[in-house]
Structure 1
Amino acid sequence: MQRSQVLAKSFARKFLPPSHPSHPHNQIIRSISRPCDVFINHRGIDTKRTISGLLYYHLSLLRMKPFLDSENMKPGEKLFDKIDTAIRNCKLGIAVFSPRYCESYFCLHELALLMESKKRVIPIFCDVKPSQLQVRDDGTRPASELQQYSRALEEAKYTVGLTFDSSSGNWSEFLVSASDAVIENLLEIDGERLRK
């Protein structure tokens, strides 16, 4: 049995409510009422159909509740309201850095909120080196926001994470490694909460 499956089962036994397959509404109600476990911060145009989307589905299959904007938001919902709430209520963040990540105000806003909310963040550097990530001043944002984004980006760049080259990397191995990292971090976070 793969390590991520063993860790997922251990996680589910210790911290997730038991399944109630007898009535489908129970799962819907539980899904709506339980905050997300993992917030996936990403540049949609770069990674939504690849690494971020695959990671979302893989974590879902392992009975976790990830948040990915394209999967968790419905037409008519306010972007900042829904996303900011998901970030504040999540247990863990994943920041999927890609070559054009820093061009997005939304990506940087989400990352800054994750860091300000003192969430543990697992950085994933997809087709980009940490040293290549820099906040650029295009004249549309106040200096205070740029400083806030730069601080958050620097903190993430100096956090141990995962790297992946989408042109030559092994997708299956990466998904297992990323899932293992998520599960181990969630177990640590939940263990810390239980000790308080």
Structure 2
Amino acid sequence: MALVRAAQQTSSSYSCRYCRYHVFLSFRGQDTRKTFTDHLYTALVNAGFRTFRDDDEVERGEGIKPKLQKAIKHSRTSVIVFSKDYASSTWCLDELVMILERKRLSADYVVLPVFYDVDPSDLRKQTGSLAKAFARHQKTQPSNKVKEWREALAEVADLAGMVLQNQADGHESKFINNIVQVIGEKLKHRPLSVPHIMIGMHSLDLVNTLNLWLQDGSDDVGIFVIYGMSGIGKTTIAKFVYNSNYERFEGSSFLENINEVSQQPNGLVQIQTQLLSDILNGRKMKISKMLVKD
């Protein structure tokens, strides 16, 4: 396990420690793919957020659902763009169900509904264009599936979302900037999860040594290596030290399971992309990063 230190500067940064994407972007392509959603995607990417958009990442056809499930699982947030005919797409409704399932599994998973040309009450009451869409679905889809979709729409309507008509006087560019700012606030650094039963006295001594090393105010780049057999607590120590120090640095990244990820197709590229995205966020900076390998 190697810890790499650079100049100390205080700033917040965005973290997606176990995730490939900061944002999973869900939308009905026929409604907004080339307009609002395209501008939103560009703004998110320009702000330094790794953003999944299905036409960029996967091809339509057999096997796409598992790929979408994996993308949702490995994202930190989901932004759902609700447009007038969103509910007419069984694909979008299935995707919504997957997103909410992901949210139930992780308390810190963020779902941000964006109401582009519909009102939250339309989803809650399922009136207007949604009523027409479900009238069609009831004729062609299993009743349990329709019930699942209705419950998902009602659930997401009660989440704190953003409504175009209520913000930025309806100006889309300002509205998009507001969305990017909200995502930035929600993705600010959060502490890593560390077991309640921490480590023994010997490990605490090591933690104190690492903290002193990271907090010495030096501008020099340094590497600290902790080595030993698997299962002795190296990662736990690194997480504890990371939580104690990340706010002291302008940028930081915690990369875990490097050996496992590197064996996957394009695994090394994925690691490099995550590292650079975590620490750069679209600007040059001096950074502190930790690479962890068991």
TM-score range, shorter chain: 0.7 to 0.9
CA–CA distance in structure 1, aligned partners of residues 159 and 60 of structure 2: 35
TM-score (norm 1): 0.75
Identical-pair percentage? 29
Amino acid of the structure 2 residue aligned with 1:161: G
Task: Name the structure 1 match of 2:48.
Answer: 63
4+ long deviations beyond 4 Å: 74-77, 192-196
Q: CA deviation at 1:86?
A: 0.7
Aligned residue among 112, 118, 127 for 1:122 = 112
CA–CA distance in structure 2, aligned partners of residues 106 and 195 of structure 1: 38
Task: Name the structure 2 match of 1:144.
Answer: 144
Task: Name the structure 2 match of 1:180.
Answer: 181
- The number of residues matched between the two structures is 168
Q: Deviation per CA, 1:101-121, whole angstroms, max 9, x where unpaired?
A: 000001111111111111421
Q: Deviation per CA, 1:134-180, whole angstroms, max 9, x where unpaired?
A: 36142222121112111211111111111115xx7222211210001
Task: Please tell me whether Structure 1 or Structure 2 has the larger radius of gyration of its CA atoms.
Answer: 2
Q: CA deviation at 1:195?
A: 6.5
TM-score (norm 2): 0.52
Task: Indicate the structure whose relative CO is greater, using CA pairs within 8 Å and at least 6 residues apart.
Answer: 2
Amino acid of the structure 1 residue aligned with 2:115: F
Q: CA deviation at 1:43?
A: 0.7
Q: Quick check: 1:127–1:164 contact (8 Å CA) kept in 2? A: yes
Amino acid of the structure 2 residue aligned with 1:191: R
Alignment of 1:156-175 (within 5 A): 156-165=156-165, 169-175=170-176
Q: Does 1:48 align with 2:49?
A: no
Aligned residue among 80, 87, 101 for 2:72 = 87
Unaligned 5+ runs, structure 2:
1-10, 104-108, 196-294
Amino acid of the structure 2 residue aligned with 1:128: V
Secondary structure at the counterpart of residue 21 of structure 2: coil
Secondary structure at the counterpart of residue 24 of structure 2: strand
Secondary structure at the counterpart of residue 121 of structure 2: helix
Unaligned 5+ runs, structure 1:
1-8, 18-32
Q: Flag the structure with higher helix content.
A: 1
